Structure 1
Amino acid sequence: MPKPNIHPTWYPEAKVTCNGEVIMTVGSTSPEINVEVWSGNHPFYTGTQKIIDTEGRVDRFQKRYAMIGKKVNKEASESSSETK
């Protein structure tokens, strides 16, 4: 049993709002929670995500790991042909 007068007030039906729209209700110590981003408007979850690649980092990463994958496959095929 919690001690009286030391715990914050618990709101079992706290409203979570985004852009003035109530998204859900959760239990919280605040009666209302304002958020800017949630899964309903986040680009990753809505499928509108764009990768901004100003310095070519994504391309370098994809090239590096594509080459490693080819190298590993090439070595594996060479080692399997040697064992036959």
Structure 2
Amino acid sequence: MMRIAAALGLCLLAAGCGTQTPLTPPKGAELPPAPYGAAEKPSSDELLRRDALAAPERSVELRRRSEERQDDPFDLPPE
């Protein structure tokens, strides 16, 4: 029981030590070069931002109860 409490306490301490400062490259490293045709390098925040294709929003409603499937003309048995 004591081990579980110690492990739980250690996990809580580890979870609370996250930083809240902006990301910067380590010393001696630089951000990636500017994309072809761009005038300037993107910032670290711009590099971390995902576009709509990388993280699409959900556009399908979840079904709340089971329903009969419609007939699928492309659901053919193997030949």
What TM-score results when the alignment is normalised by the length of structure 1?
0.25
Higher fraction of helix: 1
Bigger radius of gyration among the two: 1
Tell which has more relative contact order, 1 or 2 (C-alpha 8 A, sep 6+): 1
